[in-house]
Chain A
Amino acid sequence: MSAVAAERNSAMEKAGAWARRMPLLPALVFMIIVTQLPFLVTIGISFMHWNAYYPDDKGFAGFANFKSVLTDVNAREAIIVTIMLTVAVVVVSLVLGLIIAMLLDRKFRGRGFARTLMITPFLIVPVAAALMWKHALFNPDYGLLNGLLKLFFGDGAAQPDWISNNPVTAIVVSLVWQWTPFMMLILLAGLQSRPLDVVEAARIDGASPWQIFTNMTLPHLRPYIELSGLLGAIYVVQNFDAVFTITSGGLGSANLPYFIYETFYQAHDYGEASAAGVIVVIGTIIIATFALRTVLSLFSEETTS
Chain B
Amino acid sequence: MTTVDKVAEEAPSNVVEREPGKRKNKGVLLTGLAWIISVLFVLPVLWMVLTSFHSETDAAANPPKFGASLSLEGYRSFFDSGPWPPLLNSLTASVVSTALVLLLAFPAAYALSIRPVKRWSDVMFFFLSTKFLPVVAGLLPVYLFATKVHFLDNIWLLIILYTSMNLPIAVWMLRSFLSEVPIEMLEAAQVDGAGLVRTLRSIVAPVVTPGIASAGLICFIFSWNELLFARVLTGTRAETAPVYLTGFVTSQGLFLAKVCAASLVVSLPVLFAGFAAQDKLVQGLSMGAVK
Contacts and interface: CB of A to CB of B under 8 A. Distances in A.
A21 B31 CA distance: 53
Which 4 A-B pairs give the minimum distances between C-beta atoms?
Answer: A23-B107, A128-B263, A277-B137, A38-B138
A39 B137 contact: yes
B107 A26 contact: yes
Interface of A: 17, 20-24, 26-28, 30-31, 34-39, 41-42, 45, 99-100, 103-104, 106-108, 110-111, 114-129, 131-133, 135-137, 139, 141-142, 144, 146-148, 150-151, 177, 180-182, 185-186, 188-190, 193, 196-197, 200, 203-204, 206, 224, 227-228, 231, 234, 237-238, 240-241, 244-245, 256-257, 260-261, 264-265, 270, 273-274, 277-278, 280-281, 284-285, 288, 291-292, 295-296, 298-299, 302-303
B39 interface: yes
A224 B282 CA distance: 12
B164 to A, nearest CB: 4
B123 A24 contact: yes
A240 B227 contact: yes
B133 A35 contact: yes
A174 to B, nearest CB: 9
Interface string B95-115: 000000000110110111001
A104 B34 contact: yes
Contact of A24 (B60, B117, B231): B117
Nearest to A189: B290
A142 B55 CA distance: 13
A35 B162 CA distance: 11
Contacts of A240: 136, 227-228
A31 B27 contact: no
A302 B176 contact: yes
A21 B139 CA distance: 30
Nearest to A184: B41
Contacts of B158: none
Nearest to A107: B13
Contacts of A150: 62-63
A167 to B, nearest CB: 17
Given A26-B104, A35-B130, A135 B259 contact: yes
Contacts of A261: 136, 139, 228, 232
Contact of B111 (A22, A117, A128, A181): A22
B132 A135 contact: no
B263 A132 contact: yes
Contacts of A204: 1, 4, 7-8, 15
Contacts of A122: 274
Given A35-B164, A108-B27, A135-B249, 9 more contacts: A21-B117, A27-B167, A106-B34, A120-B45, A139-B256, A147-B61, A240-B227, A244-B246, A261-B136
Contact of B30 (A103, A127, A190): A103
Nearest to B130: A35
A64 B59 CA distance: 51
Contacts of B59: 142
A257 B290 contact: no
SS of A interface (majority): helix
Contacts of A17: 117-118
B186 interface: no
B34 A108 contact: yes
B271 interface: yes
B263 to A, nearest CB: 3
A17 B245 CA distance: 50
Interface in B118-166: 118, 121, 123-145, 160-161, 163-164
Nearest to A147: B64
A190 B290 contact: yes
B12 A200 contact: yes
B191 interface: no
Contact of A177 (B44, B48, B142): B44
A114 B285 CA distance: 20
A277 B139 CA distance: 9
12 contacts: A20-B117, A30-B163, A30-B167, A31-B167, A116-B275, A121-B45, A185-B285, A189-B286, A204-B4, A261-B139, A292-B128, A299-B176
Contact of A106 (B12, B31, B225, B286): B31
B51 interface: yes
B158 to A, nearest CB: 12
Contacts of A197: 12
Contacts of B290: 186, 189-190, 193, 224, 227
Interface string B36-60: 0111011011011001000000011
Given A137-B44, A284-B133, A124 B267 contact: yes
